[in-house]
Chain A
Amino acid sequence: DTEVTQTPKHLVMGMTNKKSLKCEQHMGHRAMYWYKQKAKKPPELMFVYSYEKLSINESVPSRFSPECPNSSLLNLHLHALQPEDSALYLCASEPTVGFYEQYFGPGTRLTVT
Chain B
Amino acid sequence: KNQVEQSPQSLIILEGKNCTLQCNYTVSPFSNLRWYKQDTGRGPVSLTIMTFSENTKSNGRYTATLDADTKQSSLHITASQLSDSASYICVVLRGYNKLIFGAGTRLAVHP
Contact = CB atoms under 8 A, between A and B. Distances in A.
Interface stretch (A62-70, A71-79, A96-104): A96-104
Given A97-B96, A99-B93, A43 B101 contact: yes
- Among A42, A90, A102, find the residue whose CB has the most chain B CB atoms closer than 10 A: A42
Contacts of A99: 31-32, 93, 96
Interface string A12-44: 000000000000000000000000000011111
Contacts, number: 51
Interface in B1-50: 31-32, 34, 36, 41-46, 49
A95 interface: no
B3 to A, nearest CB: 12
Interface residues of A, number: 26
Contacts of B89: 42
Contact of B46 (A91, A98, A101): A101
A43 B32 contact: no
A88 to B, nearest CB: 7
B91 to A, nearest CB: 8
A99 B36 CA distance: 15
Nearest to A41: B103
